[in-house]
Each structure stands twice: as C-alpha cells, then as structure tokens.
Amino acid sequence: MADPVVASHLSLVLKAPPTNSSPSHSLPQQHSKPMASSLNSAASLRLFVSSSSSSSSAAARLCLRSTSLSFSSSLKSLAVSPLSRHKRGSAVSMSSTGGFSSVASPKCAASDPDQLKSAREDIKELLKSKFCHPILVRLGWHDAGTYNKNIEEWPRRGGANGSLRFEVELKHAANAGLVNALNLIQHIKDKYSGVTYADLFQLASATAIEEAGGPKIPMKYGRVDVSGPNECPEEGRLPAAGPPSPADHLREVFYRMGLNDKEIVALSGAHTLGRSRPERSGWGKPETKYTKDGPGAPGGQSWTVQWLKFDNSYFKDIKAKRDEDLLVLPTDAVLFEDPSFKVYAEKYAEDQETFFKDYAEAHAKLSNLGAKFNPPEGIVLDDGPR
C-alpha cells in the first residue's frame, strides 16, 4: 500500500471522478483492529491500538455506554485481503454494515474531553512520523462537506457525523484514497474509545492545520456518530475539480452548505498543503521537482513549493502563474477570475494574517456543519491559545 501522503489531494473543491471508479486501495478484510493491517513500510496506515486504561477511563466518565461490541462479517470484497488476519479478543471489528466499528459510541456525552486531549497529542506524533497533514485535513473536510442546509433531519442532512468511516461512502469517487487516512488514525480511535469518529476526524483535520504552521482553529467537540451505512449521504455532494463553469459549481456546492464567497476562497487556501495524483483524481503530473523526493511516497503535483507548510503561498503562486510544476485546477484559477472571489484571493495573497483569521473561522464553521452535539453546546478543550 502506498505511503499516506500519496492521498494528499486536499479539498472539497477538487476531486474529479477517476476513470476507474474503484478506489486505488482495497479495504482490508475483517480482523480484530479494523484497517490496522500489518503494513511494514513508512506507508503503514494503522488506525489505533486499544488501551485498556483509556477505555476504562472513558467508561468512568461517560454514562450509559453500551457494553456490547459489534462483531460480524466484513464485506465479501474484503475477505481475501492478505493485509490482515483475524484475531480473537478484539474490542474492534468490521461490522456487518460495512464500516469500522469500535466499542459503541457513548450515550450521554459524545466524547470525553481528557481523551480528546490525549488523542490530539497522538495525532501530533503521527504527523511528525508520517507527514500526513494533507490527507487528515481532507478527511475532516469530506466528512463535513456533505452537509445540506435545506435538510433539517439528522443525519439525513449530512455533515460532520462520522459517516465517512463506512465503505459505501469511502467508495464515492471524491473520497478516493481516504481509506488511507482511516488506516492512519484507527489505532488512535481504538486507544481512545471515548472519542467519536466524527470528533476524531475533525480533531485530526484541525490539528494538521495547526501543526503545519497554520492558525489556531476555534474548535468544539461532542459530535455524535451515525450508527450505520444506511445513514451515509448519497454520492454527489462534494465538489468536482474541473466542472464546465467552476465559479457556478463552487457556489452551488458551498452555498448548499451555508458558506459564502469569502469562506469558499479562504477554505481553498488549504491547498497550500498537499499534492494531487493523476491516478486518483485524474489531475496533476505524476511527479515534479517538488515532489519527486517526498517526504513520504514520492510523486504527484503540489499546489505550492513547500506543500507541508500552511501559509498564503497558494494565493501568491496562482496569481504569479510562473511555475509549471505547480498545480492550478480550474477551481483554483477561477478564484482570480471571478470578480467576487478575486477580492478575497487578492487580499489573501497580500495579507497572510487576514487569510489566517478568515481561514480559521471558515474551517471551524465547516467542521460543525450538520453535526449533532452532545452536550448541545459542545465541548471546548481548555488548553488556551497555541
């Protein structure tokens, strides 16, 4: 399996369906720790090892937790995977519904604050070793970005509800490669069973931005998980990379989420991180002088020279149009062509502080879309400013 960074095509704004509709990576078969297969390279994509101490801590804090585990057969398509072997005594298993299910989600409080803080520290260590900032940002975005403001009912409205852990949604063309992100963080989910998938996805996304040098994101937690793949949104809610009318397409998709032009442009700036790989998205070069040596698996085409550093260079580079080795998608170029978008793109190219401020606000808003919080006001981690 390829290095996690190969999946660092980072946005709600840019996935075009690959010519082959099946994902680049097959999902691992049922085993004791879902998607925590024994990959032995730097691309090892594991999702979290159970910790009895953290699990007991969660049980002490969270009321009315289910004591039963969901054990059942995995999808038939996963049954022949050589990447894993079934083990007994697991606290985590593939569910018969086709997703990755750990100990049942808490019934009184969605996530435990202490476990959230500990999980964040583990994510920081993961980022240092795997250079997986882009794909973790994308994971959070794509879980939240299915939100439809015109649908009131949860979870049918989509949004940040952990549904992206299920195979039916992972197979959406826009989510190609995100199985790698799940593999990367599952060992953290296993270790901190008092954290929901919905919270973990958004925690990983915000932490990746901050650890790459970006702004502190004003996050809150307590998102409730959906329970099965029947609650996943239909395909087609995420943006494409090369629509016939890029500006109209961006507005159609992001306005449906309740976002405005400023937020569209600010969020697009997250393309300062990551690379696009043509074998997945159909966009970009196989490699450039900026990506041929990694870090992580080499290859792909990045939007910026330092594609693991969060800054405003995305806007500067699009405006300059000087480097053919840097990627500019139609949905990127339109930010300097559409009159309304251009106001913000020009501002962000000149003023990184303003970009950081607007980005942090937009990222936090995106991460809350469609979520059901328990407690309703959410949980703010009391760690103060970075």
DSSP codes joined into one string, 194-248: TS-HHHHHHHHHHHHHHHTT-PPP---B-BPPP-SGGGSPPTT-SPPSS-SSHHH
Q: What's the predicted TM-score (pTM) here?
A: 0.74
Task: Return the higher-pLDDT residue of 242 and 182.
Answer: 182
* Per-residue pLDDT at 87: 33
Residue 171 has pLDDT above 90, yes or no: yes
Residue 176 has pLDDT above 60, yes or no: yes
Q: Which two tokens stand for residue 227?
A: 């329970």
271 catalytic residue (yes or no):
no
CA distance 378 to 247: 34
pLDDT tier, 259 (very low <50, low <70, confident <90, very high otherwise):
very high
Per annotation, catalytic residue among 31, 142, 187, 249:
142
The residues, ordered by sequence, that sit 6+ positions from 232 with a Cβ below 8 Å of its Cβ are 163, 166, 168, 169, 226
CA distance 48 to 163: 18
Which amino acid is residue 140, in one-letter code? G
Of the CA atoms within 13 Å of residue 319, those in its CB half-sphere come to 16
Mean pLDDT, to the nearest integer, of 2-15?
41
Task: Return the higher-pLDDT residue of 39 and 179.
Answer: 179
- CATH number for the domain whose boundaries are 113-231: 1.10.520.10
Q: What is the CA radius of gyration of the chain?
A: 19
Mean pLDDT, to the nearest integer, of 272-294?
90
* Per-residue pLDDT at 203: 98
User: Strand (E) positions, the chain?
Assistant: 93-94, 100-101, 275-276, 301-302
Which amino acid is residue 44, in one-letter code? S
Residue 103 has pLDDT above 70, yes or no: no
Of all residues in the chain, the percent with pLDDT exceeding 90 is 64
- What is the sign of the dihedral through the CA atoms of 167, 185, 382 and 358? negative
Q: Where in the chain is the domain with CATH 1.10.420.10?
A: 246-364
CATH class of 246-364: mainly alpha
pLDDT tier, 108 (very low <50, low <70, confident <90, very high otherwise):
low
Task: Return the higher-pLDDT residue of 261 and 68.
Answer: 261
Mean pLDDT check: name the lowest of 84-88, 163-167, 270-274. 84-88
* Per-residue pLDDT at 28: 38
Q: Where in the chain is the domain with CATH 1.10.520.10?
A: 113-231
Residue 132 has pLDDT above 50, yes or no: yes
Mean pLDDT, to the nearest integer, of 270-287?
89
To which H or E segment does residue 350 belong?
helix 339-350
Task: Return the higher-pLDDT residue of 160 and 65.
Answer: 160
